[in-house]
Amino acid sequence: MRTLFLAGDSTAAQKYADAAPETGWGMALPFFLHRGVRVANHAVNGRSTKSFLDEGRLDAILTAIRPGDLLLVQFGHNDQKVADPSRYTEPWTTYQDNLRVFVEAARSRGALPVLATSVERRKFDADGGAQRTLGAYPAAMRETARASDVPLLDVEALSLALWQRLGPEATKPYFNWTETEQDNTHFNPLGAIEVARLVTAELLRTHVLAPRETRRLDDGIPTDLITWPDAEENRP
């Protein structure tokens, strides 16, 4: 068995009962992986590449990661926070520098680093066109992946195309739209499942995973399979 370690932000993170129905796509990833690939979800709400590293969260991964494991890295949403120096990174300098820290750390342990551009938010123009919201960060990650010879999962482009196909109204059930909240960044179970499907398909396309390591890519996944634990002591 090998482990896929996930480093990222709230779009991917484990959610707990007090946040339901908000769902990170990392929670749905195991539905598409055979039992020989385990998911260790280290994504945490509100983190950027900078704050994740500054808090020692990569160090926690490195104590557990083993040769042959995977380190999947998705950041960008919080790296955009210009007004917050604890999180902000500049896309073509500090953001890329931080991504290379993840890459080299994984390689130092004999693990395979994988970079994933951030999943797009739900934003449409007046004509119903899905809009990009992540600035230069996806392009900066693409360049880093090319320069470092790292597999790239272009989740930003794929999710943008999915939101465009669905349109403004049909995307609402994918995001955390409830009676009390209209959240265009975080997912409901349906959205988390479909983004996890995109991620798994990219892992397969880039040959990071073999076909025997994936499953159910063409199947409907019941949203009631998503559960939210309430064990406070397990929060990162």
The full length of the chain comes to 236
Catalytic: 159? no
Strands 70-74 and 37-41 come out as unpaired
Q: Which of 169, 179, 232, 233 is catalytic?
A: 179
Catalytic: 34? no
* Exposure string over 54-76, b if 16+ CB within 10 A, otherwise e: eeebbeebbeebeeebbbbbbbb
CB 132 within 8 A of CB 160: yes
Catalytic: 148? no
Other CB atoms within a 10 A radius of the CB of residue 90 amount to: 14
How far apart, in whole angstroms, are the C-alpha atoms of residue 24 and residue 189?
A: 8
Q: Which of 48, 159, 186, 213 is catalytic?
A: 186
- Would you please indicate which residues are annotated as catalytic (active-site) residues? 10, 179, 186
